[in-house]
Amino acid sequence: MSQQGASYRAAGVDYDALDAGKRLAMAKALSTSSLLAGRGGRALDASRGEPAFVFELGGRALAFVVEGLGTKSIVARHVLEGQGIDRFADVAYDTVAAILNDLCCVGALPLVVNAYFATGASEWYLQHDRTAALLEGWRRACADAGCVWGGGESPSLPGLLEEKDIELAGAAVGVVPEGRAPLLGEQLGPGDEIVLVASSGLHANGASLARLVAGRLDRGYATELPGGAGTLGEALLEPSVMYVGLVAALLEADVGLTYISHVTGHGLLKLMRPPRALSYRIERLPAVPAVLDFLVEQAGLDAPAAYSTFNMGAGYALYCAAGEGERAVRIAQRLGLEALVAGQVEAGPRQVLLEPVGVRFDGSQLELSATRA
């Protein structure tokens, strides 16, 4: 068992089991693709296993995604209870960012996002300031992404969720700009450049392990991080970066994008998300946020475990035709985002080579496609 596997299993997350379930679900889903023809549409099965499902209707390519925040809202509750700091606007923003950053990976821009707020007790909403913060965070994220908040669902699920907690998730529909094809990795090939765009910290992945670490500390989420980086709880709740505006700008500028990967679960293993025999050589890495350095140290993770658990400072990966990487970096910088041309795609076996930290990930470590099950 890998160190990453052991650490995350201890926090209640087993990626091997989750991925096996996902592959089985995708295999079942494939059997329904032909049904879309009855509504005048067509499923693009090449999108199976990608961050969003793509289908055609009325001559346009549309994308659909469902995503959840995970357990980060529990961190927000503890920070509010223990430090008196309300960060529920931020976890709402994180949820929308998680949904829409996935949607944009296939080259679609969001039209509508719907919310799913599940509580362990309907009394959760009686803390009116907290509720107002949550709703404003969701609204602000939709505004930043330029899409409509269409509605949602808010079930009370006693016995399924803790009374004090809320589960945040949602779904979104987007459209691929007219005249463009969805980004499904079909144009990805040797010589393409890999641009890594900086994260703001934890984003929406790794909260279960972060909670395990916090539970072992004397001061918990109130623990001060080294170098004056604030408390652990506040740093964990730093809002995720919304990459929708960046993708829109790249498409508008006609940058030669061949693929996009949202670096979430599995960390930088996600650089080899396409189920193809290609190697991804990374020669430069972004700076690691202080909170992630702290979590890695406290959890005792080595480099392979750290880079396959957290984003380690790289929130989004843009794959560009040769010579286009610097254009993508300049556009990101104009939007206030840090980015760098980190490496390139090469012919060879399916693998990720993180040269600055001496890590190699083999293709067998990430199997998300039903066709590779």
Residue 7 has pLDDT above 80, yes or no: no
CA distance 191 to 216: 46
pLDDT tens for residues 351-360? 999 999 999 9
pLDDT in tens, 77-126: 999 999 999 999 999 999 999 999 999 999 999 999 999 999 999 999 99
- For the beta sheet containing 148-153, the strands, ordered from the edge strand earlier in sequence to the opposite edge, are 41-43, 53-57, 60-68, 166-175, 109-119, 148-153
Residue 187 has pLDDT above 80, yes or no: yes
Cβ-proximal residues to 287 (8 Å cutoff; 6+ apart), any chain: 198, 313
Q: How far apart are the first and last CA of the chain?
A: 20
If you average pLDDT over residues 153-179, what whole number do you get? 97
Q: How far apart, in whole angstroms, are the C-alpha atoms of residue 119 and residue 124? A: 7
pLDDT score of 25: 79
CATH number of 193-372: 3.90.650.10
pLDDT, residue 233, reads 98
CATH number of 12-175: 3.30.1330.10
Predicted pLDDT at 371: 45
Give the lowest-confidence range in 3-7, 108-112, 210-214, 224-228. Answer: 3-7
Q: Is the pTM of this model over 0.95?
A: no
Q: What is the mean pLDDT of the chain?
A: 93
pLDDT computed for residue 10 by the predictor: 57
Q: List pLDDT tens digits, range 18-36.
A: 556 666 777 788 999 999 9
- Judge whether residue 74 has pLDDT over 70: yes
Per-residue confidence band for 17, with pLDDT thresholds at 50, 70 and 90: low
Residues 6+ apart with CB under 8 A from 243: 97, 101, 104, 197, 262, 315, 316, 337
Instruction: Report domain extents, the chain.
Output: 12-175, 193-372
145, exposed or middle or buried, with CB in 10 Å at 0-12, 13-18, 19+? buried
DSSP 297: H
What pLDDT score was predicted for residue 5?
46
Q: What is the pLDDT of residues 320-352, one digit of tens each?
A: 999 999 999 999 999 999 999 999 999 999 999
